[in-house]
Chain A
Amino acid sequence: MRSTPDLLKERAEDVFKAWMETQLASAPLRLDMMSKSDLEKQSRKFLHAFLEVISTGNLDNIEAPEYAPVIELLQEISKSRAALGFTPSETATSVFSLKYSLLQFLQDEFGDTPDILNGEITAVSQLLDKLGLVTFETYTRGHEEQILKQKETMAKMLTPVMILWKDILLLPVVGAVDSTRTQIIMETVLKRIRDTESKITLMDITGVPTVDSGVANHLVKITKAAKLMGCDCIVSGIAPAIAQTLVHLGIELRGVITTATLRDALLLAYKMRGYEVREKKEAPKKKGA
């Protein structure tokens, strides 16, 4: 009697055909996203690697070094399919479907000896279950990496600090404010204050959609830290709704100068620094008049 790896290797072409049939027949497979020839190429490559590795006799530990090529291939397949828009279930189903195709061959070979059949079936299905899960893990990990990258990009994008005038910085806060972002904003703005030795920071919160007690506390922290360094903070862009919320929630903004618009804040900052803004008395002459 042949061993399972030998049997499968011998009948590799039949196994491949059976697997392709199962894959093509399974409902979730999306031929609109991937051509049949691509699928065949991928499947053949995987099957080949799979049969190679089970011939080592290790049907259990997929963390062993001999499994590295198979895992790598699976991760590659999983990534490329994710990029094509496949769901992780669809990718995993591909792997699981190999299990059903293999079972048929095992049945044919070991049908007469139920004891051996049982053992072989258990081993093969456990192995393929593990491999199927690898595709899931790869998919999730890829997603997490992407989310992390986006988060970092957003954090960087959303905290510009500009020099508005000598000694005056502008910090526009746009979007939701949580504790992580507060920390990033604080770090950025405090460093800028030190580098530019600015005396006033205008924090414009027109772009903050909602201000609850959490957000207010975060913003107050930034103004406090700036003040400790010797830089006054003017918070502008307090919309009527925000003013109402702040009072209703009983949030104390003592020590923080607030204005309705950035314009008022800028005028106030000029005044505090001893600048005077006034209109020219003569109307500007029109060109060509």
Chain B
Amino acid sequence: MEDAVSNVAMYVARGCLVVPIEVELYDDSMRQIQKAVLESITETGIKGVIIELSGVNIIDAFLCRTIFDTARMVSLVGATAVLTGIKPEVAASLSEFDLKFYDIQTAITIEESFHRLEPLVESKEEAVEEEDHGDDVG
């Protein structure tokens, strides 16, 4: 399981954790990604997560719910997730399901996602700096 988690491709850019989802998803791989993202947040204290879905062509209601749930879990551990890159045909097919996602943030481009998360990321960095100062004094 450890190995699987480390295999999940993620990277940090502009203070945000970017999680590109490239392949057709299986329930299991999504759960691994979920775990990896949450662990990474708790380890690094990152505040912004971008789940990038432009590589996904087919998705079912269950997987979609798993992705929404991941975003909800991310906010439970104190960060914010933004979904981006959902293709028109994927969006159209998902609208057929009775999914509720009022609490989920979405953005049309990855640029817009960074823009959305910027304030959170900045405030976090400041907080870290302040902490560092505190240590120095102590």
Instruction: Please give the residue numbers on chain A whose beta carbons come within 8 Å of chain B beta carbons, in ascending order.
Output: 183, 186-187, 190-191, 193-194, 197-199, 221-222, 224-231, 254-255
Interface size on B, residues (CB 8 A): 22
In the complex, are the beta carbons of A225 and B107 less than 8 A apart?
A: no
Residues on B with C-beta less than 8 A from A194 are 87-88, 108
Segment at the A interface, from B16-24, B38-46, B92-100: B92-100
Residues on A with C-beta less than 8 A from B92 are 183, 186-187, 190, 225
Chain B positions 71 through 96: 1 when the CB is less than 8 Å from some CB of chain A, otherwise 0: 00000000000011011111110111
In the complex, are the beta carbons of A226 and B112 less than 8 A apart?
A: no
Residues on B with C-beta less than 8 A from A183 are 92
Partner of A190, one of B91, B106, B107, B109: B91
A-B pairs with beta carbons under 8 Å apart, 22 shown:
A186-B92, A190-B89, A190-B91, A193-B88, A194-B108, A199-B112, A221-B96, A225-B94, A225-B95, A228-B86, A228-B91, A228-B95, A229-B106, A230-B83, A230-B86, A230-B106, A230-B107, A230-B109, A230-B112, A231-B106, A255-B100, A255-B101
Whole-angstrom distance between the alpha carbons of A228 and B94 in the complex? 8
In the complex, are the beta carbons of A221 and B88 less than 8 A apart?
A: no
Partner of B102, one of A222, A225, A228, A254: A254
Whole-angstrom distance between the alpha carbons of A228 and B96 in the complex? 12
Whole-angstrom distance between the alpha carbons of A198 and B109 in the complex? 9
Residues on A with C-beta less than 8 A from B112 are 197, 199, 230
CB-based nearest B residue for A183 = B92
In the complex, are the beta carbons of A227 and B109 less than 8 A apart?
A: no
- Known pairs A187-B88, A190-B88, A191-B88; A197 contacts B94 (CB<8 A): no
Instruction: Please give the residue numbers on chain B whose beta carbons come within 8 Å of chain A beta carbons, in ascending order.
Output: 83-84, 86-92, 94-96, 99-102, 106-109, 112-113
Residues on B with C-beta less than 8 A from A187 are 88, 92
Q: Is the interface of A mostly helix, strand, loop or mixed?
A: helix
Residues on A with C-beta less than 8 A from B113 are 230
Closest-CB distance, A185 to chain B (whole angstroms) = 11
- Known pairs A186-B95, A187-B92, A194-B87; A228 contacts B106 (CB<8 A): yes
Residues on A with C-beta less than 8 A from B106 are 227-231
Closest-CB distance, B30 to chain A (whole angstroms) = 17
Which are the 8 A-B pairs with shortest beta-carbon distances? A190-B88, A230-B108, A225-B95, A230-B106, A230-B107, A255-B102, A225-B91, A228-B91
Interface centre among A187, A197, A228 (most CB of B within 10 A): A228
Closest-CB distance, B97 to chain A (whole angstroms) = 9
Whole-angstrom distance between the alpha carbons of A198 and B92 in the complex? 17
In the complex, are the beta carbons of A198 and B94 less than 8 A apart?
A: no
Residues on B with C-beta less than 8 A from A230 are 83-84, 86, 106-109, 112-113
In the complex, are the beta carbons of A229 and B95 less than 8 A apart?
A: no
In the complex, are the beta carbons of B88 and A229 less than 8 A apart?
A: yes
Whole-angstrom distance between the alpha carbons of A187 and B109 in the complex? 19
Residues on B with C-beta less than 8 A from A231 are 106, 108
Whole-angstrom distance between the alpha carbons of A186 and B96 in the complex? 11
Residues on B with C-beta less than 8 A from A193 are 88, 108
In the complex, are the beta carbons of A198 and B108 less than 8 A apart?
A: yes
Whole-angstrom distance between the alpha carbons of A187 and B90 in the complex? 11
Residues on A with C-beta less than 8 A from B101 are 224, 227-228, 255
Closest-CB distance, A215 to chain B (whole angstroms) = 15
Closest-CB distance, B44 to chain A (whole angstroms) = 25
